[in-house]
Amino acid sequence: MRWTRQGDVTRIRGGWHIDGAELRTTVRDDGPGTLVEESLGAHRLAERVTALGGTLTLDAVRSWGTTVTVDLPLSALTAPAEDPLTVLNLRELEVLGQLTSGRRNRQIAEHLHISERTVKFHVSNILNKLEVGSRGEAAAMARGA
Last residue of a domain, one of 73, 99, 117: 73
User: What is the predicted pLDDT for the residue at 80?
Assistant: 58
The number of distinct structural domains making up the chain is: 2
Residues 6+ apart with CB under 8 A from 8: 31, 32
- CA separation for the pair 65, 32 (Å, rounded): 5
Average pLDDT over residues 30-40: 68
Show the domain range for 107. Answer: 84-144
pLDDT of residue 34: 72
What pLDDT sits at residue 145?
Answer: 57
Q: Is residue 78 part of a domain?
A: no
Kindly state whether residues 68 and 18 are assigned to the same domain.
yes
Residue 20 main-chain phi, psi, to 5 deg: 65, -115
114 Cβ contact list (under 8 Å, min separation 6)? none
pLDDT more than 90, % of the chain: 44
Q: Has residue 2 been placed in a domain?
A: no
Domain contains 115: yes
- Provide the pLDDT for residue 1: 37
Residue 31 predicted with pLDDT over 50 = yes
Q: Is residue 79 part of a domain?
A: no
* Chain segment 51-109, per-residue pLDDT in tens: 888 888 888 888 888 888 999 998 865 655 677 888 999 899 999 999 999 999 999 99
Say yes or no: 63 and 96 in one domain: no
CATH number, domain with residue 30: 3.30.565.10
